Homo-oligomer: A and B are copies of this chain.
Amino acid sequence: MKQLKQQVYEANMDLPRYGLVTFTWGNVSAIDRERQLVVIKPSGVAYQNMNVEDMVTVNLRGEVVEGHYKPSSDTATHLELYRRYEQLGGIVHTHSTYATAWAQAGMPVPALGTTHADYFAGDILCTRALTGDEVNSEYECNTGKVIIETVGDVNPLYTPGIVVYQHGPFSWGKSADEAVHNAVVMEEVAKMAWIACSINPHIRPIDNYLLNKHFLRKHGPNAYYGQT
Chain A positions within 8 Å of B, measured between CB atoms, are: 22-23, 25, 42-45, 69-70, 73, 95, 97-98, 100-107, 112-115, 118, 129-130, 132, 135-136, 139, 166-168, 181, 184-185, 188, 191-200, 203-204, 206-207, 209-210, 213, 217, 224-227
| 9 smallest beta-carbon distances between A and B, as pairs | A44-B226, A105-B200, A101-B195, A104-B196, A105-B199, A104-B112, A104-B113, A101-B196, A132-B209
Chain B residue with minimal CB distance to A95?
B115
Copies of this protein in the complex? 4
Q: Which of B107, B203, B213 is the one whose CB lies under 8 Å from A105?
A: B203
Report whether B44 and A225 are in contact in the complex, using a CB–CB cutoff of 8 Å. yes
Enumerate chain B residues within 8 angstroms of A101, measured Cβ to Cβ.
192, 195-196, 199
In the assembled complex, the CB of A89 is this many whole angstroms from the nearest CB of chain B, namely 19
